Structure 1
Amino acid sequence: MSMFDRSQSVVIHGGTFTAQQISTVGPTQSLSEAFKILQSKVAPGAFHNSGERFDPPKCHPRTRRAVIERIMNWILGKESMNSLIMWLNGAAGAGKSAIAQTIAELCYEAGILLASFFFSKSDPHRNHAMSLFPTLAYQIACAIPEARVHLERVIDHDPLIFTRSLEAQMVALIVEPLRPLIAAGYFTDPATSMRLIILDGLDEVVEHRMQGKILEVLSNVLLRHRIPLIILVASRPEQQISFSFDSKLISPLTDRLRLDDKFRPDDDIRLFLDDSFSEIKATHPRKSFIPESWPSVEVMDTLVCKSSGQFVYASTVAIFVASIRHRPTDRLEIVLGLRPVHRDLPFAELDALYIHILSVLEDLQRTLLVIGAVLLGTPCTTSEIEHLLDLDAGDAELLLADLASLVSLEGDETKTIRILHASFEDFIFDSSRSGMFSIDEQAMRTQLACLCLRHLNIRKYGPLDEDWDNKYGFMIYDIRYHLMGKPTAELVDHLSQLSWEVLLDDIRLHQGQFPDNASSNSRLVCAWPVIPIFISAIKSYDLEESVYLSLQTRLYDSVMKAELDILQGDASKVCTSKIQPSLTFLLCLCCEIIHRRFHSNVMQLAGWNSAALIFGFLSPFIDFHIMTLHGVSSLREFLHNASRSGRYYLDAEKYADASSSCLNYLGSHRLAVFINLHHTRRNVTARCTSPYKTRQLMKYVEGRRVWKEYKLSGTNNFASYLKLRDRFPKLAGRLIKKSQYSSATKLGLIFLPKALRLSAKSDALIAFSRGEKSFSQRALEFPALVKKCREALAAYLARVEGVDNESYQSR
């Protein structure tokens, strides 16, 4: 522009002129440009109320109340103010984002939300850290106009502030604009001031190193500049994030809130599913085709169980079933696997979550091997897995480090591996869902079976090693599941080398040296159930008959004979003095009875001392062969085959001996004495020495429910038994004995008709059948069973002597 533009009647008389340009841009224009620069750096989809996050997840009404209350108390200053950061963490799909969204909406309505940022790995504007602080600063400027003026001046002074380090950005864009407000006391009242910042999905930041860097910057600035802000961080407990929160800098500032079972998530999930299905039944276009009782209680239980406390599964099911283009009943059957999937995949969203988590694994094959061993076996520790898979110490923990949102390591010293999602098993074993991350279940079982057998054959560690139980116990226990895999030549070769006799000897030697490892909690006592499973497995392997018979002899018959020899030799040590021991009777019982209350019943009936239940081999032997149909059928098949069982073959003579022993017990009147509380020795003495006190006590006892339950025959109510034991300890002991007698009597009455059908002619049985002996009063407490026994005796007598059944039964 010319110096003299728009000038009129100008006369110049010499002189020197200097052109001086003065800016005419006002302050409003300058600050507006700064704000435009800020806007260009913002990720608008990160706001809690952004239109890009259409229908964001939030808590279903009446759910998550305890969690929300706990967070709101922290925000409003009702709890300790030492924690400037709260870390809301939990497994994948636990509902962290829904809770963060709900908290954001509540605090926004209350006017105490300062800013929020919801990360997302799929959004290029929200999966990194560079847009974090500009976005927070923009929201602060909108929420507090006074801060906007200071913020614009900062940007106007340094337009390239957005290229600086994260810490420099937070100080310049957040701390500096808030300083005047802090000095003026703007944030004094935690209940009314806007001081909450919410960061959700920190684990969604693509660059893992930056996840920890964000936390480091936040804590550094909060400590160094002492700004009165609080930050709610919601994320999965990924390795980098957990490590940062455990650091000396951040840990003292942090209050941790883990979404685990203490908040009873199953109750909230059941409520959510119930409301979702009720809404479907009320509003779905095809509601007329939905039964009133849909879904059943069993289906609801299955869905809650599959959710494993994680809302993502329940939410996925509800959305899939609610499709208005399909019948809800059909869609639910697809979810349950009762109907084939055609086009729509019910768990596409859940599968994408699992694939994203697995995609970061560095050593995929070894990690899948660890996962397969955990899923296909019983709960085990990292050291046990490392021993089984021949890994170095600490390898299991390293391999699972990136799966913290799916797998937890529980315990300080011995870390037990637990899969957090029940639905993850369905995903990982279904190749159509998991693709390259899938596990072939049958091949994995075979591989694990070979590993177990190889370790058991080599026996690198001896039974005198105190840790021998932990090294081999879970292998012995879990191999029953692994034998269901595909048969291979390697597997059969390992089976042919296995010696159960040596292994059982090692178990006894170890438990004798370390009695604490002989408890019922030890997995070594569960060796017996595995042996018949071996036989069942090799039957399905379609082997040559010679190979099968060789394995059967090696894995079952020889072991059974050796153990029966031990029982026969120890009979004199474990029998009672009044009833003669009968191994034959015990074996007959094992062949014919499946009874879960085995210890006191079978052992009492057979005349074996209860000490044998705790020490030696008898307990696991009896436990298995009476508790399971598999055990009964295996033992019966062995003992009823003379070529396999040899001298332990159960012929008709031995069944007659067993029947006779059973009748001797059922006819023993010594066991028929009833118990009366008034007539115990203690009460007789007390009535003589303290009559008044005794009468008062008896009035009290007779007025209690415990008296009615125990007046004559006792009860199984354990709480009442404890009350009685405290006041009448000797009587309580007698009641336990009486309960054992009664249960054993009932068991004998069940066993007798079965045994009589297989019994040969016996003088003792004939004598009882002819009425020379009678059933005890204790046996007569079970009239229906006694009637069946009388009918069986009549049939037996008719078979061996030709006596008419009706003439016997009429006696």
Structure 2
Amino acid sequence: MSGPFHRASNFKIDNLEIVQANTVTYAGKSALERLEEHISPGAAHNSDERCDAPKCHPETRAAVQDEILSWITEGGDSDAEPKRLLWLTGPAGTGKTAIAGSVAETCSENGLLAATFFFSSFSGSADRRSKACFVPTLAYQLRKHRGLQDVGKAILSAIDNDPAIFSTRVKDQFEELVLRPFRQLSNQSSGTSLFPKVIVIDGVDECEPLKAPGQSITKEEAQIAREREHLEILDVLFQAVCDPAFPFRIVVVSRPERQFATFFSETASDTTLKLFLDDKYDPNADIELFLHAKFAEIRRRYHFPPSWPTPAQIRSLVSNASGQFIYAATVIRFVDSRTHLPQEQLDCVLDLEKEPVETDPKSKHTVPQSKSKPNPFRALDALYLHILRTCPDPLSTVEWMWNINETESIYDPSTSHSVALPAAFWRQFIEWTPGEMEHLLGCIPSLMFVPPPEDRLAPIRVYHKSIHDFLEARKRCAELFLPPYRRSRNYHRRLLRIIKDKGPVLPCPESEHDKFLAQFLGLTILLWPEASTAIHPDDKNILLSSDAQWWVDRYLDDESITRYKRALKISLILHSVHASVSHFQFSLLLKV
């Protein structure tokens, strides 16, 4: 017999396909080798890539960790509708990833951990930023678990049967590589006593769609694609916990972005336990404990006296942290950076609050910029920049963050106290088209809480005070910096439009219209002194053409306002209308 392989021996042909009796056999790479090619090693909780990832300091975040671990081990499996999903969420910087890592470590030590995947948009590994390796990585970890050897064999068999499985949708990959192997095992009546209990998935909000080389898409298209990726993963996890053959609970960790809040409150509401990292878990006590422990380490290393730092300095840091571990951790990293003495570094952090804010360069009161200093909040700034840059119009978002923060409350004449303006007011104040406020502020739920439209009373709330420290410093917020004189142009335009239209631009029921006007009138005592000099010259005609008498009548009809305050408010409005008239007198108004 002759031919090209006659007398050939000891040779290998990679990826050889042999077709025989309508059966395709892949020679060369084994199923395990193919699986290993599609995993993300750095996404596991114990990967070398995550060796410096944040973890909870001993004795901190104990309450929330205990609640999660209790749910994993004892969480009501006998209930009619057991909660087999846990959504851990909270503002940026509250330590979500640290908690997820610590819970995963504890579960691993106790034989409870089945698999983990830690997404990261900041990772150097592209496979931690996309869904491409998500299911294969979970399948790989399940395959190698000592208590899941039969499942591991079924996973490899599935790859042998369909080597192209890695090119299919996430849903199909999960079906073939995870769900079907467990169904096969359940059909064999194998025991599950040795099975682990939980899968931990962190940072799903950091999963990003893959772009083809040279592909150009708009920011809006990118955001839609990003949300679609998130929902695809969430749908797969929801289907998994609804499958009787799937034996695990799943912890999902993400920021409280709109698509997650909607999914867990609607689609998966009956199967989800939600944990929001707020004051319920006493973060200030944990942060103080963390700071004391870390400063003690620095003291021992430098032989500092126990009086450093002072109790007042610790209290200041805890207050500045506003419940967010990211601030405290960043401070410690900076103080312990060894580029300068720790005392000098700590003083630098505390002095940041005292730095002057840039004012209008046209003004004679311009404050000179401080000398160049190292930035102790580089990590925090990077996080804030990342979040804000994902907004459709970052500068407009920043502008409204400033405006809402600076006029978040009004004087209530009926109580003689300041009251917070509800989000419903801001929605009517901002919107010229339906959904405009959601477009501007709905993109930053990890920085700011914006109540849903049906909540007519709750105010908008910024989670962390350091965001305004960040936005006030040009060197920290880069292209997102807005000096005070540039923060209010759109604010004043809406103010003038409301005066011209005698109410919000978008129609609303009469009862809401009257309530809006009452709140708007309460706001004017704060707005007019500054607005009278800040209104752009091009907008003066709008104000001059407005019905001043109508607004005066509105004030006169409000019986809760004292005579003096009514006259003062009217004078402020008319002062703006007649700002171009020098020495205009308002004495006549005082006779009203």
Q: TM-score, normalised by structure 2?
A: 0.76
Secondary structure of the 1:220 match is helix
Tell me what 1:472 maps to. 520
How far off its partner does 1:200 sit?
A: 0.2
Secondary structure of the 1:62 match is coil
How far off its partner does 1:270 sit?
A: 2.3
How far off its partner does 1:438 sit?
A: 2.2
How far off its partner does 1:493 sit?
A: 8.7
- Considering fraction of residues, name the structure with more helix: 1
- Judge conservation of contact 2:182–2:245 (CA < 8 Å) in 1: no
Tell me what 2:89 maps to. 89
| In structure 1, C-alpha distance between the alignment counterparts of 2:499 and 2:524, rounded to whole Å | 8
How far off its partner does 1:318 sit?
A: 1.5
Distance 1:111 1:264, change over 3 A: same
Distance 1:260 1:361, change over 3 A: same
Of structures 1 and 2, the one with the larger relative CO (CA 8 A, separation 6+) is 2
RMSD: 4.0
Tell me what 1:199 maps to. 201
| In structure 2, C-alpha distance between the alignment counterparts of 1:214 and 1:387, rounded to whole Å | 35
| In structure 2, C-alpha distance between the alignment counterparts of 1:180 and 1:202, rounded to whole Å | 29
Give unpaired runs (5+ residues) of structure 1.
Answer: 7-20, 24-28, 513-517, 564-811
Tell me what 2:455 maps to. 413
- Answering whether residue 426 of structure 2 is matched by residue 385 of structure 1, we say yes
Tell me what 2:405 maps to. 375
How far off its partner does 1:97 sit?
A: 0.4
- Judge conservation of contact 2:42–2:49 (CA < 8 Å) in 1: yes
| In structure 1, C-alpha distance between the alignment counterparts of 2:270 and 2:259, rounded to whole Å | 18
How far off its partner does 1:104 sit?
A: 0.2
List aligned pairs for 1:145-224, cutoff 5 A: 145-183=149-187, 188-189=192-193, 193-207=195-209, 208=226, 209-224=228-243
Tell me what 1:292 maps to. 307
| In structure 2, C-alpha distance between the alignment counterparts of 1:273 and 1:527, rounded to whole Å | 51
How far off its partner does 1:153 sit?
A: 1.8
How far off its partner does 1:324 sit?
A: 1.8
Secondary structure of the 1:58 match is coil
Question: What letter matches 2:261 in structure 1?
Answer: S
Tell me what 1:394 maps to. 435
- Answering whether residue 388 of structure 2 is matched by residue 358 of structure 1, we say yes
- Judge conservation of contact 2:399–2:488 (CA < 8 Å) in 1: no
- Answering whether residue 522 of structure 2 is matched by residue 507 of structure 1, we say no
List aligned pairs for 1:316-331, cutoff 5 A: 316-331=330-345
Question: What letter matches 1:562 in structure 2?
Answer: K
The match for 2:43 among 38, 41, 46 is 46
Question: What letter matches 2:275 in structure 1?
Answer: L
Tell me what 1:60 maps to. 57
The match for 2:72 among 51, 71, 75 is 75
- Judge conservation of contact 2:288–2:318 (CA < 8 Å) in 1: yes
- Judge conservation of contact 1:382–1:397 (CA < 8 Å) in 2: no
| In structure 2, C-alpha distance between the alignment counterparts of 1:153 and 1:67, rounded to whole Å | 40
- Judge conservation of contact 2:113–2:198 (CA < 8 Å) in 1: yes
List aligned pairs for 1:223-622, cutoff 5 A: 223-224=242-243, 226-248=245-267, 250-283=268-301, 285=302, 287-288=303-304, 292-297=307-312, 299-336=313-350, 337=352, 338=354, 342=372, 344-378=374-408, 379-389=420-430, 391-410=432-451, 412-414=454-456, 416-445=459-488, 448=491, 451-452=494-495, 455-456=498-499, 459-460=502-503, 466-479=514-527, 482=530, 506-510=554-558, 512=559, 518=560, 547=582, 549-550=583-584, 553-554=585-586, 557-559=587-589, 561-562=590-591
Tell me what 2:362 maps to. none
Question: What letter matches 2:375 in structure 1?
Answer: L
Provide Cα deviations, 1:16-46, integer angstroms capped at 9, x if missing partner. Answer: xxxxx999xxxxx989821111111110000
How far off its partner does 1:487 sit?
A: 8.0
- Judge conservation of contact 2:200–2:252 (CA < 8 Å) in 1: yes
| In structure 2, C-alpha distance between the alignment counterparts of 1:164 and 1:413, rounded to whole Å | 42
How far off its partner does 1:528 sit?
A: 8.0
| In structure 2, C-alpha distance between the alignment counterparts of 1:116 and 1:327, rounded to whole Å | 40
Question: What letter matches 1:141 in structure 2?
Answer: R
Provide Cα deviations, 1:444-497, integer angstroms capped at 9, x if missing partner. Answer: 246645754664577458999632544514532541784598686579999999
| In structure 2, C-alpha distance between the alignment counterparts of 1:127 and 1:484, rounded to whole Å | 49
Distance 1:445 1:153, change over 3 A: closer
Distance 1:274 1:464, change over 3 A: closer
Give unpaired runs (5+ residues) of structure 2.
Answer: 9-17, 21-25, 210-225, 356-369, 409-419, 505-509
Tell me what 2:112 maps to. 112
Distance 1:389 1:239, change over 3 A: closer
Question: What letter matches 2:166 in structure 1?
Answer: F
- The structure with more radius of gyration: 1
List aligned pairs for 1:122-161, cutoff 5 A: 122=122, 123-143=125-145, 144-161=148-165
- Judge conservation of contact 2:116–2:199 (CA < 8 Å) in 1: yes
Question: What letter matches 2:455 in structure 1?
Answer: E
- Judge conservation of contact 2:499–2:543 (CA < 8 Å) in 1: no
- Judge conservation of contact 1:140–1:148 (CA < 8 Å) in 2: yes
| In structure 2, C-alpha distance between the alignment counterparts of 1:464 and 1:530, rounded to whole Å | 23
How far off its partner does 1:127 sit?
A: 0.9
Secondary structure of the 2:128 match is coil
Question: What letter matches 2:171 in structure 1?
Answer: E
Secondary structure of the 2:49 match is coil
Question: What letter matches 1:395 in structure 2?
Answer: E
> How many pairs are equivalent?
516
